Amino acid sequence: MYLKADDIHAYISGDIIECMASSDNVIRAGFTPKFQDVNTLVDILTYDHDPPEQQLLPATAYPFVKLNAAAYSSGSSAQLYDPPIEEFAVVRTALKRAGAKATFEPLAGPSIVLATSGSGTISVGPTQEQIKEGWVYFVGATAELVLENASDGDDELVTFRAFCEIDAQANGSS
């Protein structure tokens, strides 16, 4: 789901990760023990909205990943959610059984990987670490990323990778 700036939202149910552009204007009005500023929220809201079918982002197959035989045969996938903004995109990877592996081509910018279920290994360049539900990793630009499900049985390893591609000309490189 993609929401524009100044659109109100609340999460009621479902599997949710929130990825947002850099901002200093998070304003809360309910469902949280954190500071709430209802008056400011009411003042800044646009009170405009798109229909749900325009807010839902279609998932597309992520083209820059290679799945091994165990991943293919189990129906594992890497799905891209690409909002209509430049700040970031998100890839959801579901490795459906032990031994399923996804090898991602290096990106031109940084990313973070969040595991929401299962366990396995994460390799960034030559370094391999354990990954499991609730763990988050930083992946630097130009590093190959490999995720592998190392669970017992048929437990699924699900990760979300939020990334930003950096334009080489924008940062002074050629």
Domain boundaries, the chain: 1-56, 60-163
Q: Is 92 a catalytic residue?
A: no
The CATH number of 60-163 is 2.60.120.10
Residue of 28, 92, 97, 161 marked catalytic: 28
d(CA 134, CA 94): 15
pLDDT at 53: 83
- Condensed to tens digits (0 to 9), the pLDDT of residues 37-61 reads 889 888 888 777 778 888 888 999 9
* Parallel/antiparallel/unpaired status of strands 65-67 and 101-104: antiparallel
| Residue 139 main-chain phi, psi, to 5 deg | -120, 120
